[in-house]
Structure 1
Amino acid sequence: MAQRLQGRTALVTGSTSNIGRSIAVALAREGAHVVVSGRDAARGAAVVDQIREDGGRADFVRADLDGTAAAGKAFAATAAEVLGGRVDVLVNNAGIYPASTTPTTDEETFDRVYGVNVKAPFFLTQALVPGMIGAGGGVIINLGSWIARLGVPVSSLYSSTKGAMETLTRAWAAEFGPQGVRVNAISPGVVVSPDWDTTTDHPGEVMMRGTPAGRSGHPDAIAAAAVYLASDESAFVHGTVLDVDGGRTGVAVVAV
């Protein structure tokens, strides 16, 4: 069976663990040459080793995206160089989730979260889109969140950043789609890291009670959606936010 991303290049931000790691591994398994990125070089090397052991192509590029245009431009240039001069698929996955409420959020935290979760992908996209257009096309996949559209009484700051990314998805689809760049997003539900101790209950599990899935998801489910959106199978899909959330936002949840 032919690999769906053979001959293409991909950059996945925040791909040294959890969802980002699964996406990087899945894209490489489908033939893409992947740049794994993040702050931790040791964890990045582990992901690269896993991909190469499976016969894929991957390299690590350290990234500490603070939201400045300069950081985004420099990182984009380095990643493109490692990938042979172009990035065909950009996955804006990196994000931070502060454990704070609205009354306890200070200005420094607010600016840092928006810097990482919104400004960084904005300026990274700004830096890479011209190259995609010049090459005849490309794909951008943003990561949203189910709590961007279904309010919960915690994490209002994080929720607002993911709402911004879902809005940018639609705006970018309108802006770049006619020039050959498809833009879509994935909205994960409660996803538990594979490293989570399965002998204890994950706090998010309670939020999945009464959903069709009835449980939290695995990062590989998000990765499967990313492969679909990156491949030609989704060539007619533009500006969509794909819910991969066990039915959390689309189906009425009945308490059980």
Structure 2
Amino acid sequence: MPKTALITGATSGIGRATAELLAARGMHVIVSGRSADRGETVVRAIRAAGGSADFVAAELRGETSAKDLAARALELGGGHVDVLVNSAGVFPFGPTAETSTDGFDEVFDINVKAPYFLVAALAPAMAERGAGAIVNVTTMVAEFGAAGMGLCGASKAALVLLTKSWAAEFGPAGVRVNAVSPGPTRTEGTAAMGESLDALAAGGPAGRPGTANEIAEAVVFLASDAASFVHGAVLPVDGGRIAV
């Protein structure tokens, strides 16, 4: 029986690349995102390449939406989800004084509450089976201060701490929980940054932005048996930004 992987934010960027790689490695992938058109495009591409995939539309806003997505993924996965990749996220940039309450809540609903309640819905069953892998996608600005990135960074810093807490909670039962921390990455979502993305990346040893596929390869590694002794780790995939 193939493993089932649920990937949030899988209709574009890092999430899509992760779904395609996991499918290529023989997993049945549940592609989740807001856009049905983009989701079905990803599913068709995976199936055309010989993989197995289904799409579930989800507007992740916290507990109820997360639990609904988990239930649908379990249904499509034959009663089991073996890998959860929390890739969906929003990355606002701007002055603290211009942040609204609604904007603040939206960031934490998507970046923190949704992963929290997806783990709450799926990890206990993984623990009962004695196996499972959860990979959270964070960001390098969860690790250091950057003007205008406080809200995004704070939400992802919460996810870093949750990664370690969940590793301690579920690891003894065979569920590995880890995170990938991307640096500047060229995706549909960062296309509007233009040359500023290159300038941000220039400060690292790699001297360039990463690609969605490069980040996805790290996610897939942590989700695989090759990382069987890795628990609670936050893997920087940032072109060496952590080194400078």
Q: TM-score range by the shorter chain?
A: over 0.9
Aligned to 1:205: 198
Deviations 1:184-229 (A, max 9, x none): 000000001168779x943221112232100000000111011111
2:47 is paired with a residue whose SS is helix
Mapped contact 1:194–1:218 kept (Cα < 8 A): no
Aligned residues: 244
2:236 is paired with a residue whose SS is strand
Question: 1:46-61, aligned counterparts within 5 Å?
Answer: 46-61=41-56
Unaligned runs of 5+ in 2: none
Unaligned runs of 5+ in 1: 1-5
Which of 114, 117, 121 pairs up with 1:123? Answer: 117
Give the Cα–Cα distance (whole angstroms) in 2 for the partners of residues 144 and 195 of structure 1.
15
Aligned to 2:102: 108
Tell me the TM-score normalized by structure 2: 0.96
One-letter code aligned to 2:202? R
Give the Cα–Cα distance (whole angstroms) in 1 for the partners of residues 56 and 191 of structure 2.
30
Question: 1:186-197, aligned counterparts within 5 Å?
Answer: 186-193=180-187
Which deviates more from structure 2 when the two are superposed, residues 91-100 or residues 24-33?
Answer: 91-100
Aligned to 1:84: 78
**Structure 1 segments of 4 or more deviating over 3 A?**
194-198
The sequence identity of aligned pairs, in percent, is 49
For residues 196 and 241 of structure 1, do their structure 2 counterparts lie closer, same or farther at Cα, with a shift above 3 Å needed?
closer
Give the Cα–Cα distance (whole angstroms) in 1 for the partners of residues 97 and 76 of structure 2.
44
Question: How big is the alpha-carbon RMSD for the aligned residues of Structure 1 and Structure 2?
Answer: 1.7
Aligned to 1:28: 23
**Bigger fraction of residues in helix:** 2
Deviations 1:53-82 (A, max 9, x none): 110000000111111x22221210111110
Aligned to 1:247: 240
1:203 is paired with a residue whose SS is helix
Which of 1, 8, 19 pairs up with 2:3? Answer: 8
1:182 is paired with a residue whose SS is strand
Mapped contact 2:182–2:215 kept (Cα < 8 A): yes
Aligned to 1:221: 214
Tell me the TM-score normalized by structure 1: 0.91
